[in-house]
Amino acid sequence: MKIAVFGATGKTGQEIIRQALAGGHSVVALARRPEALPIRHEALRIVVGDARNADHIAAVIEGQDAVVSSLGRPAAGSTRAEVDDSEVVDVCTASTRHLFAQMPDAGVQRIVLMSTHGAGSSNDGSPYVVALRELVGNRVADKDDMEAFIAASDAPVDWTVIRNPLIYDGPAGQPYGVHEKIVLDDTSKVTYTDLAAFTLSEITEPKHVGKILTITEPLTGEAGPGSPS
C-alpha cells in the first residue's frame, strides 16, 4: 500500500514508518525538519512542510491509499516542573480538519489517527486522567477538539482513532487489550512496536472503522492482534 504519515519524526511515527517499510509498503512522510527523521529508504519520500498547512497536506496525500496521523507534541518530561505546557496546541485539530476536507477529493478513504487516553469521552476523572491533564492539559485539549470534530464529521472517510497510555521501548508481541471504554491506572502502558503494529493492522485490514479505541497492557477484555488467543 501507499501510506501517508503525519507526525513522522516522533517515536511512534518513526516506528510506524519502519514497520510499514519492512512490510513492503511505500511511505510519504511530512516533516517540518527532515533531519529529525533518521530513516532513509528507497520506498520512503519525505516532504518538508507543516501539518497545519492545507497545501502541504494535499501534496502528501495525493496518490496515497491511506493516511496515518501521529501528530502531537511530546511531553519532554514527567513532572510539571519539566514540562512547558503553557502554549495552546492545535496541530491535531487543524490537520484533521484539512485531512477530512481533502481526502475525499484525493480519493483517499482510510485514516488512522493517534489520540491519547484521557481525551474526549475517556476524560473520566480517574487519577490517571487527572494527572495527565494536569501535566499536559493543552496537548490533551487539542486531542479533545480533534476527537469532537471527527465524531461530528459527515465526511466520507473511514476513520479509526487510537488512544494510547504511556508508550515505552520494549519488545513486540506483549499482551494487550483493545477497548472502547476502560479506566486506566499508572500500570497501563504499551510498547512503541505494538502500538505501531496495531496501527498498521488497522490500515491494511481494518476492523474498527468509526471507533475510538484505547490500546493498553495488561491484557483485559477484548484481545488485540498482539495478544495471545
Q: What is the pLDDT of residue 46?
A: 97
Phi/psi for 75 (5° steps) reads: -70, -35
Q: Cell numbers at residue 112, please?
A: 488512522
pLDDT in tens, the chain (229 residues): 999 999 999 999 999 999 999 999 999 999 999 999 999 999 999 999 999 999 999 999 999 999 999 997 655 454 555 455 566 689 999 999 999 999 999 999 999 999 999 999 999 999 999 999 988 778 899 999 999 999 999 999 999 999 999 999 999 999 999 999 999 999 999 999 999 999 999 999 999 999 999 999 985 544 444 543 2
Residue 59 contacts residue 21 (beta carbons within 8 Å): no
Specify the pLDDT at position 136: 78
Handedness of CA 220, 7, 99, 157 (dihedral sign): negative
The third-level CATH classification (topology) of the domain covering 2-216 is: Rossmann fold (3.40.50)
Residue 144 grid cell: 479533545
**Domain spans, the chain:** 2-216
pTM for the model stands at 0.91
